[in-house]
Amino acid sequence: MKSMFRPLIVIFVVLSAVTGLAYPAVMTAIGQAAFHDQVNGSMLEENGKVVGSQLIGQQFDAPQYFWGRLSATSPMPYNASNSGGSNLGPTNPALSDEVKGRLDALKAAGTDMSKPVPIDLVTSSGSGLDPEISPAAAAYQIARVASARKLAPNDVAALVDRYTTGRQFGVLGEARVNVLKLNLALDAMKQG
């Protein structure tokens, strides 16, 4: 029995060192060298201060900002430690109430409600953290944002076009607009 005990301890120590220390250290080094921005959270800085991540949505509800998708996370919106959708089915009255609440908020903020509202402005994403909206959802908000900021709608539309990202590799996913980047660009436009 003693003859088997020593090899077991050696194997345990070696495998623990390889899988618990060496492998994570090598992967961390490769990540920092090759994908520095991504492994550090894709943080956006403004004047040397971190203002958010490109990968996690933030709550914008002032009329002068573009609004992102609703967040179903709790206890607060866009809570990255509690990612998840609402799991509300199409016949659930709570989903209807959520959509109605967002429609009321859009109307109260001065959004022109004469056109159909893009679905991503009134429903939450699967993760509850979606940082992007469709170009249609951004275009729907241009008049409100331009009016609130006293800017020409064409200038705001040009900014939306500049911050619209196409399909990945030309075929994967859909075109999208990162709300935080767009709102930061709007703030910079107002100052400039």
Band (39; pLDDT cuts 50, 70, 90): confident
Band (192; pLDDT cuts 50, 70, 90): very low
Q: Are 176 and 164 in contact (CB under 8 A)?
A: yes
8-state DSSP, 171: T
Taking residues 150-154, report their average pLDDT: 93
pLDDT tens for each residue of 171-191: 898 999 999 999 999 998 865
pLDDT tens for each residue of 22-34: 999 999 999 999 9
Spatial distance between the Cα atoms of 158 and 163, rounded to a whole number of angstroms: 9
What tokens appear for 125 in the block?
């994403």
Taking residues 111-124, report their average pLDDT: 88
Q: Are 144 and 109 in contact (CB under 8 A)?
A: yes
pLDDT of residue 157: 95
Spatial distance between the Cα atoms of 171 and 95, rounded to a whole number of angstroms: 31
Predicted TM-score (pTM) of the model is 0.79
Nearest CA among 111, 107, 131 for reference residue 120: 131
Better-scored residue on pLDDT, 16 or 1: 16
